[in-house]
């Protein structure tokens, strides 16, 4: 699928990110656990420079648990600590703090060598739209003792949320952009609901989703909709329309409505935990990770 992005905002986003990143010791890269590679920013390696890094695989509740574990191993093999998370439930708060602690060893070691004691780690959350950045920051901030207020040298408006004595979090997330030029990335992000549906052909997108289920999660279409598992996606979409009573006035199947309903099921976990991407095989890895 060819999807039109929003490169207009992105120049501004890049500049803001380049400024904010100077203020922190640690960059927490938030990815959707269902498609971590499609959510990765192509420039993150360069942007984060020598900073400590941590990958948070968010929306783990919507992904395939076994695949989440594979991703954590995959990132570990690249020397990047990754943890899975469900930012909406707030249950991962402790895990995030532990992960920050583990990922900021380099910084602490550097401080120690320079004789700096007990300076808190400053961290920021960064990611492409819709991965859950605000949800995570709000969940962490709600429980946090206090906002620490503006500090000299900090962009006006930026505040630090003190998570504990050892960690301060920038209260605004860094907005990143995906790999625009890869059509597969566009399709995956659209399936996750991270692209404005108004610019998409939802019938075509639902067809992609059906093809994906046929290949990777056989049985789901039959179980959820009583639909056939084999064959072209459009007749299956028609079956879904009939099964879920998406009908036009004359009783004809309403494909548009069925596509929306199917995508809503797909995105919200009603079809079970689904992972659109699995870690690439060894020989592809070098190309994918920066
Ligand atoms: P952003 O700042 O990165 O753009 O993302 P944001 O926090 O706005 O989250 C985007 C959507 O993802 C929100 O849903 C949010 O509730 C949901 N979300 C965030 N983290 C998780 C998670 O770990 N699991 C699940 N299942 N959902 C998560 P929304 O429908 O846009 O808003 P709302 O109806 O939840 O308020």
Question: What is this structure's pTM?
Answer: 0.90
The protein residue with its alpha carbon nearest to ligand 1, atom 6, reads 132
- What would the two tokens of residue 206 be? 């639902």
My answer on whether 137 and 228 are in the same domain is no
Give 84's contacts (C-beta < 8 A, 6+ positions apart). 33, 56, 57, 60, 63, 68, 71, 72, 92
Confidence of residue 155 (pLDDT cuts 50, 70, 90): very low
Distance CA 175, CA 131 (A): 10
Residues 16 and 93 in one domain: yes
pLDDT tens figures, 169-196 = 999 999 998 887 888 999 999 999 998 8
Closest ligand 1 atom to 30 CA:
3
The string of pLDDT tens digits covering residues 77-94 is 999 999 999 999 877 888
- The answer to whether residue 285 sits within a structural domain is no
The tokens of 235 are what? 């007749």
Instruction: Identify whether residues 155 and 46 lie together within a single domain.
Output: yes
Ligand 1 site, residue 193, Cβ cutoff 6 A: no
Cβ of residue 178 lying under 6 Å from some atom of ligand 1? no
Whether 164 and 206 share a structural domain: no
Q: Using a 6 Å cutoff on CB, does residue 196 contact ligand 1?
A: no
Domain that holds residue 26: 9-171
Task: Provide the number of structural domains found in the chain.
Answer: 2
Q: Using the atom order of ligand 1, give the atom closest to the CA of residue 128.
A: 3
Instruction: Give yes or no: residues 143 and 207 share one domain.
Output: no
- Residue 116, in any domain of the structure: yes
Ligand 1 atom with minimal separation from the 268 CA: 26
State the Cα–Cα distance between residues 5 and 64, nearest whole angstrom: 27
Q: State which of 132, 196, 266 you would mutate to test the pocket of ligand 1, scoring each by most atoms of that ligand within 8 A of its C-beta.
A: 132
Give yes or no: residues 40 and 82 share one domain.
Answer: yes
Q: Is there a domain that residue 140 lies in? A: yes
β-pairing, 146-147 with 121-127? unpaired
Work out the pLDDT band at 1, boundaries 50, 70, 90. low
Q: Could you tell me if 138 and 32 lie in one domain?
A: yes
> Nearest to residue 58, comparing CAs of 159, 145, 130?
130
Q: 13 and 147: one domain?
A: yes
Domain at 215, CATH number: 1.10.1580.10
pLDDT digits (tens, 9 = 90+) for 275-284: 999 998 776 5
């Amino acid at each position: 699928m060819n999807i039109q992005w929003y490169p207009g905002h992105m120049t501004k986003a890049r500049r803001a990110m380049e400024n904010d990143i100077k203020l922190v010791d640690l960059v927490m890269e938030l990815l959707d656990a269902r498609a971590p590679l499609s959510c990765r920013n192509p420039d993150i390696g360069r942007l984060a420079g020598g900073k400590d890094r941590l990958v948070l695989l968010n929306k783990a509740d919507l992904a395939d648990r076994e695949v989440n574990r594979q991703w954590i191993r995959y990132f570990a093999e690249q020397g990047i600590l990754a943890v899975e998370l469900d930012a909406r439930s707030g249950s991962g708060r402790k895990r995030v703090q532990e992960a920050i602690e583990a990922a900021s060893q380099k910084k602490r070691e550097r401080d120690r060598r320079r004789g700096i004691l007990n300076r808190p780690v400053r961290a920021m959350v960064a990611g492409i739209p819709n991965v859950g950045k605000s949800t995570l920051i709000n969940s962490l901030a709600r429980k946090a003792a206090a906002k620490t207020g503006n500090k000299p040298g900090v962009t006006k408006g930026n505040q630090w949320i003190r998570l504990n004595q050892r960690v301060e979090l920038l209260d605004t997330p860094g907005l990143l952009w995906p790999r625009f030029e890869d059509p597969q990335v566009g399709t995956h992000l659209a399936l996750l609901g991270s692209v404005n549906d108004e610019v998409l052909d939802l019938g075509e997108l639902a067809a992609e989703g059906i093809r994906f289920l046929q290949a990777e999660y056989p049985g789901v279409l039959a179980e959820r909709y009583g639909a056939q598992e084999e064959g072209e996606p459009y007749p299956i979409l028609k079956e879904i329309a009939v099964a879920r009573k998406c009908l036009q006035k004359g009783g004809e199947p309403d494909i548009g409505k069925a596509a929306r309903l199917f995508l809503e099921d797909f995105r919200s976990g009603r079809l079970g935990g689904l992972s659109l991407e699995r870690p690439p095989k060894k020989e592809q890895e070098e190309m994918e990770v920066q």
